[in-house]
C-alpha cells in the first residue's frame, strides 16, 4: 500500500500512514486519536524538506521540479 501524508485537523499533527484510498476514513491521528485528518497531496518518495511547496506546484500541472508528479500530469515525469 502507498504511504500517504496526513494532517490532523484537531492538533495540526503531520504524520504518514500506509493506507489504501478506500480506507482513508479509518485513518486516525497517532497523536490525539482524531479521525479529522486530511490527506495531503504527495508523492510516495519525496522527502520532507520543501516537499510541500513542490507538491502544490505539481497539483497545478506545472510541476517544474518534481519528477514523480502527484497527479501524473508532469511533462518531466
Please give the residue ranges that form the binding site for Zn ion (CB under 5 A). 8, 10-11, 13, 29, 31-32, 34
| Closer residue to Zn ion in complex, CB, 13/71 | 13
| Closer residue to Zn ion in complex, CB, 23/53 | 23
| Distance separating alpha carbons of residues 40 and 66, to the nearest angstrom | 16
CB of residue 37 vs Zn ion: minimum separation in angstroms? 7
| Closer residue to Zn ion in complex, CB, 14/57 | 14
Long-range contacts of 67-72 (CB under 8 A, 24+ apart): 68/43, 68/44, 69/43, 70/41, 70/42, 70/43, 71/41
Amino acid at each position: 500500500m502507498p504511504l500517504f501524508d496526513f494532517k490532523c485537523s484537531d492538533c495540526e499533527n503531520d504524520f504518514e500512514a500506509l493506507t489504501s484510498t478506500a480506507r482513508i476514513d479509518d485513518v486516525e491521528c497517532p497523536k490525539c486519536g482524531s479521525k479529522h485528518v486530511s490527506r495531503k497531496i504527495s508523492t510516495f518518495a519525496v522527502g520532507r524538506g520543501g516537499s510541500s511547496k513542490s507538491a502544490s506546484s505539481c497539483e497545478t500541472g506545472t510541476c517544474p521540479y518534481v519528477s514523480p508528479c502527484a497527479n501524473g500530469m508532469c511533462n518531466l515525469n
